[in-house]
Chains A and B, each alone.
Chain A
Amino acid sequence: MILRYLARRLFLLGFVFVALTIFVFSLNYLFPGDLVSNLTGLRDISPEQHQELQQTLGLNQSIWQQYIEYNRRLFAGDWGLSFSSQQSVLTEIGKVLPATLELTSYALCLSLLVGIPLGLLAAVKKDSLLDKCISSVALVGYSMPVFWLALICIMLFSLQLGWLPTSGRLGVLFEVPAQTGFIFIDILLAPQIDRSAAAYNALLHLTLPTLILASYPTNVMIRFVRHSMVDVLDQNYIKTARAKGLSRGQVLYRHGLRNALLPVTRQVGLQFSSLITLAMLTEVIFSWPGIGQWLIDSIYQRNYPAIQAGLLVVSSLVICVNMLTEIVHTLFNPLARKL
């Protein structure tokens, strides 16, 4: 039964990926500029090269064939060259994606660690002063534009107080060659540097962007967990458990928690896509060398192959995360299994 469910999910995943590639493929036609340039990423193409490329890309065949050729190229790893650097787009993405992954995963963990307990606390002590404080803080944080919050924090912490650096991942004094792209692993692997100092420096650089990025998901999580927990506490089985003689803490822990946190797993998946949006904005403000800043620069430079590739990668990431959280949700939720 579980196998059948997984098989269905994978089939749907494949279907979604196909739709995604169709969408990205069609962008080649929608972007202004020459079709061949868009597809390959080469800029100054001489007429003979143009003819040749038309043959290799299969442009004289039907749209369906072109699409299949396109997919073949994707699987082979030929994602085209970036307009500005004339480097393979895939390698460029490989350099910048880990930075974004690091930032978003830390922010996500932070939001879960802070948001879930606060939301639970607010729901358990409903309508008390604590609950009102937590809810108002969550509402205020939920309404704040990310870039403004970032600027205010930079003004305060970096410029006035000088505690935290304003941009980048690591101070210029540290020479850490990028091997995996994940800063802490790179620091461990780098030779001849003071590891603890470099790690501390990286942590300082990481603090402000992570906090800013985590603010929105934390507030969403607080509101959502509070709502979910209040719903669960109203149910009959909680009252029965109280009547059975369990203490309040036991009831909350045993019955309330599991039922309240189940919708949260699904929500995390949905939150991931807005997290990526915010990550892009945060990266621009903090000059964090991640895929968000790379994509935005590509927009400024009208770097169409880069935009396509970035879109493909980011969307695939979000789809995978969504699928994972749905599978986790179904695994843990007995009610969903009866479907």
Chain B
Amino acid sequence: MQLLDIRNLTLELETPDGIVRAVDRVNLSLKEGEVRGLVGESGSGKSLIAKAIMGVLHERWHITADRFSWCGEDLMRLPYRRQREIISRDIAMIYQEPSRSMDPTALIGEQLAESVPDHLVEGISWWQRGYFRRKRAINLLHKVGIRDHQSVLNSYPYQLSEGVCQKISIAMAIAKDPKLLIADEPTTALESTTQAQLFRLLASFNQLKGTSILLISHELETVAKSTDTLSVLYCGQLVEAGDTATLLQNPRHPYTDALIRSVPEFQPDLAFKQQLYALHGSIPTLQHLPIGCRLGPRCPNARKECVKTPQLERHHNHFYSCHFPILRTNDDE
């Protein structure tokens, strides 16, 4: 079943230099039980899209979309309050810097207890509710792999390490049994052992509970291992989307190809002392966005037609938008 279906999402901001389009007509869709990766360089608008879905974007941003539906219900037509109700009931998000997204003056136990949703405590008499909430918080901590719940519950966020904080924010996120979990660069601030633990945790939630996960990252190698489908963003434009395996084997867009080639792990026959591949140039600033396909100035395949934004083309569940895609000869047309 289609959980999330977004078509032509555009995010615009008014600056003194004019209106800037940070995200330009991005399509995103998620099925139930799917783990989707959203990959892009920093500045490509991935976090903006996540915040737009959650509805916590700053008021300065103009959000427009052709379609924004959740479980078949079109959210754009509902009043704001109903939108927020639905979203806060079914979607949860974990952030990049977990200790900053927690209240510094509240105990972890308090914060966990308050994220237990109200409908779970409904049948219980009010004096027992606190106890029930606390029990559920301990339960959640065990689920994310924290054995020693006593000391964690009685500490403040600044007293715990980032890895533990991230696990706690995952616990807070799954407290309400969400259908979709958005993970916004969850492992950037952590060491590799904790990263591995975290991905295993997310995978277990996906398999055991059927929670869909939208994993946002800028590292292709970590995302490739844990996701079913992948969307690649460049500079606010959707460049390519499809199954991870197909994408990594046969990338159609030059940018995806460049990304794959720049990751040493994906090059099996890298010679000793060979120069590593990198796409020349750098991501443009918001004030100097190129017209048409934004990869234009950097793209090795670029030609005159690229000043017009390419349409999204589709081939067997593999979407790409490029005027001159890379087509391998052993591909079936």
Contacts and interface: CB of A to CB of B under 8 A. Distances in A.
A128 interface: no
Given A236-B95, A254-B114, A243 B56 contact: yes
Nearest to B110: A254
Nearest to A333: B105
Contacts of A235: 100
Contacts of A259: 103-105
B105 A239 contact: no
Interface string A198-230: 000000000000000000000000000000000
Given A244-B88, A334-B156, A237 B56 contact: no
Interface string B91-115: 0110101001111111000000011
Given A245-B89, A245-B176, A240 B95 contact: yes
Contacts of B55: 243
Contact of B102 (A240, A334, A335): A240
Given A244-B115, A335-B158, A237 B176 contact: no
B54 interface: yes
Nearest to A240: B101
A262 B104 CA distance: 12
B260 interface: no
A246 B114 contact: yes
Contacts of A334: 104-105, 156, 158
A242 B103 CA distance: 12
B100 A237 contact: yes
Main secondary structure of the interface of A (DSSP, over half): helix
B172 interface: yes
Contact of B117 (A237, A243, A245): A245
A244 B176 CA distance: 9
A254 B106 contact: yes
A177 B207 CA distance: 83
Contacts of A246: 114
Contacts of A239: 56, 101
| Chain B interface extent, by class | 20 to 34
A101 interface: no
B250 to A, nearest CB: 37
Nearest to B169: A240
A236 B100 contact: yes
Contacts of A243: 54-56, 88, 92-93
Interface string A256-269: 00110010000000
Main secondary structure of the interface of B (DSSP, over half): loop
B28 to A, nearest CB: 18
Contacts of A134: none
A246 B169 CA distance: 15
A245 B103 contact: no
A242 B158 CA distance: 21
A241 B103 contact: yes
A338 interface: yes
A255 interface: yes
A338 B158 contact: yes
A335 B101 contact: no
Contact of A335 (B88, B105, B176): B105
A150 to B, nearest CB: 40
B172 A244 contact: yes
A245 B104 contact: no
Nearest to A241: B103
Interface in A283-339: 333-335, 338
Contacts of B172: 244
A335 B172 CA distance: 22
B159 to A, nearest CB: 8
A331 to B, nearest CB: 12
Given A243-B56, A244-B88, A245-B117, A237 B102 contact: yes
22 contacts: A235-B100, A236-B100, A237-B104, A239-B56, A239-B101, A240-B102, A243-B56, A243-B93, A244-B88, A244-B92, A244-B115, A245-B89, A254-B106, A254-B114, A255-B106, A259-B103, A259-B104, A262-B105, A333-B105, A335-B104, A335-B105, A338-B159
Which 3 A-B residue pairings sit nearest by Cβ, starting from the closest?
A245-B88, A240-B101, A255-B103
Interface of B: 54-56, 88-89, 92-93, 95, 97, 100-106, 114-115, 117, 156, 158-159, 169, 172, 176
Interface of A: 235-237, 239-246, 254-255, 258-259, 262, 333-335, 338
